[in-house]
Amino acid sequence: MAKLEPYSPTPAARAGRVVMTVTPFVIGIVCVLLSFVPFGRIVGSPLTPAFPLMAIYYWAIVRPEMFPPLAVFGVGVAFDLLSGGEIGLWAFVYTVTYALVVTQRPLVMNAPFSAFWVGFAFTAAFAGALGWVIVSVIHGMLVPPGPVFWHMAVTVAVFPIFAMLFGRFETRVLSGG
C-alpha cells in the first residue's frame, strides 16, 4: 500500500501567506512615512492627518489577525523615532487604542460605513486625548488642546478616502479578488 506524504504547502503558498501576514504592517509603515510628507505646502495647511491611526483602525476592524499588537507597537515606535518626539508615546497610544478598537469590533463589523466612520471619529478622539494627557503629564503643564483637536478633525475628515484605498487593496490583493 502506498504511503501518503503529509501535506506541505508549496513555496508559493508559503510566500503568499508571508505576504498576507506582513502586508498590514507594511501599510502601517508606509502610513508613518506618509505622515512626514509636507502636504501642508500643497494644501496650504500645516495639519497632516494621523495616517498610521487610520491604518491601525482599519486593520483592527477588518483583519485583526493580520495586524497583531506587536506590529501596532512597531508602527508606533517607527513614528516615534522619525518624529523626534518622546520615544514610546505613540507606540503606547497606538497599542492602547488598538486594544480598545478590537474590543469594540463587533459593533461596527457588519454595520454601514457611516458607523465605521463614527467609530473612527471616537477612536481618533480617544487617541488624541490620550496623547494630549500623556504629553501634558510629561511636560508638567497643560499643553494647549487646540492643535490636537484640529489634527484629529483633519484625520477624521480624510479617513473615508484611506478606508476606500485600504478596502480596495484588501479586496484585490489579500482576498484574491
The model's pLDDT over 2-33, given as tens digits with 9 standing for 90+, comes to 565 665 667 766 666 667 778 889 999 999 99
Q: Measured between alpha carbons, how far is residue 152 from residues 38, 74, 128, 172, 177 in Å?
A: 17, 21, 7, 29, 33
The model's pLDDT over 43-58, given as tens digits with 9 standing for 90+, comes to 666 778 999 999 999 9
CA 83 to CA 100: how far, in whole Å? 24
Q: Please determine, for residue 40, whether its predicted confidence score (pLDDT) is greater than 80.
A: no
Nearby residues of 154 by Cβ (< 8 Å), 6 or more positions away: 45, 47, 48, 49
Q: What is the DSSP letter of 34?
A: H
Each domain of the chain, given as residue ranges in start order, spans: 53-174
The model's pLDDT over 64-116, given as tens digits with 9 standing for 90+, comes to 998 999 999 999 999 999 998 889 999 999 999 999 999 999 999 889 999 99
Nearby residues of 70 by Cβ (< 8 Å), 6 or more positions away: none
| Closest by Cα among 46, 51, 54 to 34 | 51
The residue among 158 and 171 whose pLDDT is bigger is 158
The separation between the first and the last C-alpha atoms of the chain, rounded to the nearest angstrom, is: 41
For cell 479617513, the residue is 159
Average pLDDT across the chain, whole number: 88
